Chain A
Amino acid sequence: MIQAIEHLNPDTLSAFVDGELPDGEQEAIQQHLAGCHVCALRVLSATELKAATARAGRRFALPPGTLARLTAQLHREPRGSLRIHSTRRVAWASLAAAMLLAVSLIGWRQLHETNTLAAELLDQHLATLSSAAAPQVISSDRHTVKPWFQGRLPFSFNLPDAPALPPDTTLKGADLAYLHGQPAALLLFTIHKHQVSVFLTQRSGDPNLVALPGVRSGFTIHSAATHDLQIVAVSDVNPADLDALVATLLRAQSPS
């Protein structure tokens, strides 16, 4: 008895990935997936697309000035103009409570965002390690790499000459990346065969970059800043070598 296999239709598959089907249907699909390789692959692929969309869609970070203005607005706005004649004590108490709340929430948010940022850095670094992902520019020549970014980034930066790099450190290529919603130059180096990702972004006064943890999942994360650039390096190479590279890049931004 041959049963015609009916594959999942795209709407059902999409709702399944979102966990939006009624229980009975969800189970029926689980059963279908157990026996249908094609649909199982499609579900896997749809799940990946969903995760990638979540990352790509979370793109526009709040500029610090905007965050401050909007938070201030939340505290300032009176509810109902007739209630403005409050006794001072209540006003001060509520103001104090609101400020405490804001401070703790901002603190929580910053911690949360710092972790997301560290995870994002690590994700992007790990992606560069997979051999399938060749960088857009493959070159060790700074005169090739730097001009490639022109028109692609709203800022520019300097790259040191090969001889100026620390020993056994090589520029491999570059790519365009987004870090925390901001465009970034991603420079790929190797130090003693260890891969290093260096992200250069415009300095936004983003406190998250300063508060990045030094080590995450065995990878070292080092950051430094010039007047208008933020440099963040991620690698599993030893921290001293990573420091040397970051220092060289910093020096290159202020040619004497």
Chain B
Amino acid sequence: MFRSEALLGVPIQFRGSSQRQTLDNVVSAARSADFEQLALPLLASLYNHAFWLTRNHAEAEDLVQETFSKALRAFDSFQADTNFKGWIFRILRNTFFTSRSGIAASRTVFLEDHPHALETPDTSSTPEDNLIRLDNQAALQRALEQLEPPLREALLLCDVEEVKYRDIALILDIPIGTVMSRISRARRALRQLLQLQLGESQ
């Protein structure tokens, strides 16, 4: 191949650069393939989470699309030994909060970490709370919808996406202790909402 290039009169100094270019392309293609391999299996999860944030099919799709775009461009900064899921969910979330509906959503102040501001009474040591019916999927979905978004977000990352507290802290950009208390509060609030629904239907 080099010979034919020489025969065709390709100047020698271009040979090296074209080789490098080809190499770059191979590396780039390999990195893109790496990215795809990591990102494709998360498509359904990212979309589900995007929908919980945006509450709208078109916006959820746009959000995932933009997330992929940003993540692909930033993929060089991704370190192979870190958690890809945490990394891309963080991008998804940051992208959401710079979108129009995200900015609107972030205007709602969440009064947490002032423990008494929104304290849900702890009823969890009463035996009654074991009697909640969890077989009613629709009721649980209604309750999830009524949860305050910051509580819901932490809970969904934990229970649905099975992300560890450490990575949730990175995604939400909050201390790990706050992750722990948000998840715990989310669960207490869910129980209360379910109990309320149960009371209403009786």
Contact = CB atoms under 8 A, between A and B. Distances in A.
B187 A57 contact: no
Q: How large is the interface on B (under 10, 10 to 19, 20 to 34, 35 or more residues)?
A: 35 or more
Given A77-B68, A109-B41, A60 B159 contact: no
B7 interface: no
Contact of A57 (B124, B130, B136, B156): B156
A7 interface: yes
Given A11-B181, A38-B127, A41-B130, A79 B40 contact: no
Interface string A73-91: 1110101100101110011
Nearest to B51: A60
Nearest to A183: B138
A114 to B, nearest CB: 13
A18 B183 contact: yes
B129 interface: yes
B91 interface: no
Interface string A139-182: 00000000000000000000000000000000000001110010
B25 A90 contact: yes
B184 A10 contact: yes
B141 interface: yes
Interface string A48-61: 11101111111111
B99 to A, nearest CB: 17
Interface in B6-63: 21-22, 24-26, 28-29, 31-33, 35-37, 39-41, 43-44, 47-48, 51-52, 57, 60-61
Contacts of A13: 124, 184
Contacts of B129: 42, 45
B158 A18 contact: yes
B87 interface: no
B44 A62 contact: yes
A71 B40 contact: yes
A127 interface: yes
A14 interface: yes
Contacts of A177: 137-138
B188 interface: yes
Interface string A1-38: 00000010011011100101000000000000000001
Interface in B89-141: 122, 124-125, 127, 129-130, 132-138, 140-141
15 contacts: A18-B183, A42-B130, A50-B187, A52-B134, A53-B140, A57-B52, A57-B160, A61-B48, A62-B47, A66-B47, A74-B68, A79-B72, A90-B26, A94-B32, A98-B36
Closest 4 CB pairs of A and B: A94-B29, A60-B51, A57-B160, A14-B184
Interface of B: 21-22, 24-26, 28-29, 31-33, 35-37, 39-41, 43-44, 47-48, 51-52, 57, 60-61, 64-65, 68-69, 72-73, 75, 122, 124-125, 127, 129-130, 132-138, 140-141, 144, 155-156, 158-160, 162, 164-165, 180-181, 183-184, 187-188, 190-191
